Amino acid sequence: MRTVIQRVQEASVTVDGNVIGQISQGLLVLVGIEEIDTQQDIDWLSGKIVNLRIFEDEEGVMNKSVKDIGGEILVVSQFTLHASTKKGNRPSYIRAAKPDFAIPMYEQFVKKVEEDLGKQVQTGMFGADMKVRLLNDGPVTISIDTQNKE
């Protein structure tokens, strides 16, 4: 699983002109799934995201997690995170999982993040043409790939 995590003051996702998910302070998590991903990847990644200390404490040091500050999380599926640009100018998405595998993995990931965070997580709509708005805070943007844990 590959993610791009953005610390935000607010974020929302719109489909067909309707806001389907929105948060105030917290994390926007873009997630791409591969066929090689497992439940262990979900568990590790969820714990990492929820406990990532990228929010400032009282002294202005990034020492608090989204859970510590009572923040929210918006998870949006994004198969383009697995784009290969090695050949030519048209990205290849061959590494991205097909929907029959990716959708259940995405749903399991959202459920696990909710468990670890202790509250409901907002989401986009898998496979839809989504418009994502965010106000990046910092800016702080971090990428995590479960295939490169070390």
Catalytic residues: 78-80
Instruction: Tell me if the bond preceding 91 is cis, omega within 30° of 0.
Output: no
Summarize pLDDT for 18-68 with one digit per residue, the tens: 999 999 999 999 999 999 999 999 999 999 999 999 999 999 999 999 999
Phi, psi of 16 (to 5 degrees): 50, 40
Interatomic CA distance for residues 141 and 108, integer angstroms: 24
Quote the mean pLDDT of the chain: 95
Give the E-state strand segments of the chain in sequence order: 2-15, 18-23, 26-32, 55-56, 62-64, 72-77, 122-123, 130-145
Q: Hey, what CATH class is 2-148 in?
A: alpha beta
The domain ranges of the chain are 2-148
Confidence (pTM)? 0.95
Q: How far apart are the C-alpha atoms of 11 and 78, rounded to whole Å?
A: 16
Contact 130, 76 (CB under 8 A): yes
pLDDT above 80: residue 149: no
